[in-house]
Structure formats: C-alpha cells, structure tokens
Amino acid sequence: MKINNNQEQPKETRKDVLRRLFSENNLVEEDVYKDKRGFVIITRTGIDKIVSKNNITVAYEPVVMQKDWVVMRATASMTTGNKGKTVRNMQSFGEASDDNLMGGGKKFPVAMAEKRAMSRVVLKVAGFYEQGVFGQDEIVD
C-alpha cells in the first residue's frame, strides 16, 4: 500500500492552535482567562513566561512623552526554526493617558505604556495575537 505524502494535512482550529501555544509556552490555568467580553487574556506572568521560553528580546523607544499622553514603541526579536536560523521581528505600540488609565496607574503613564507595548509585541511575535489573545495590561474596563 502506497501512502501519498502530498495530501494536505488538516488545518489546526483556533482552539487547537491556542492549546498548542499554551502548552509550548508552559502556560497554566492561572496565566490565562477568558474575559466576559469573549476574548482570551494572558496575565503579566504569562507574558513573562512567553518571553523566557522563546528568548524574546524587547527594545523600547518613546514616541510621545507628554504629561497627559505617553506612547512607547516596542520592537521584539525571536529566533525560530532549526537551530534558531530564522529571526522574527515585530513592532507594536503601547499608549497611556488619563482616558485609559485607572487608579494608581494614572501616576505611572510611562510604565503603563511600556507594559502595554511589551504585551502586544510579545503576543504578536509569539503568534498569540493572530489568535485573538490579548495581554492583561492592554485591557481597559
């Protein structure tokens, strides 16, 4: 019996991809939760696990630094593939203002913009963002 290796493999569902990504990044139940609005959230500790597991490096650049509005650009790099031959680079932004900060976060807009930029760029470079996963730091009630 001859096996045809040219047959297309079944595509992973979104749920399958998320399970694989969670497993590959050693995420546990406490690192992930489903928001009441219907999307998946990864906590700050989950983001840090993804960075560590994938040896992701992140660099920041201030774009806007005003008293009431801060925007940070984050650039992430991650090596993938056999023996780390492929480099993935991604950029994203994090913003913070009185309009999207609550409580004590209003005192630290630069730190909040940085955290949001990091969450976004890490989730993008690691393949989570395209599956509709957001970072805890991005969510504003």
Q: For 80-111, how does the pLDDT look when each residue is reduced to its tens digit (9 = 90+)? A: 877 667 889 999 999 999 898 888 888 899 99
Whole-structure pTM value = 0.86
Per-residue model confidence (pLDDT) at position 84: 63
What is the β-pairing status of strands 32-34 and 40-42? antiparallel
At residue 5, the pLDDT reads 62
Mean pLDDT calculated for residue range 43-71? 95
> How far apart, in whole angstroms, are the C-alpha atoms of residue 42 and residue 133?
7
Residue 23: left if φ>0, alpha if ψ -120 to 50, beta else—which one? alpha
3-state secondary structure of 90: strand
Q: How many residues does the chain have?
A: 141
Q: Please report the pLDDT score of residue 120 as a whole number.
A: 96
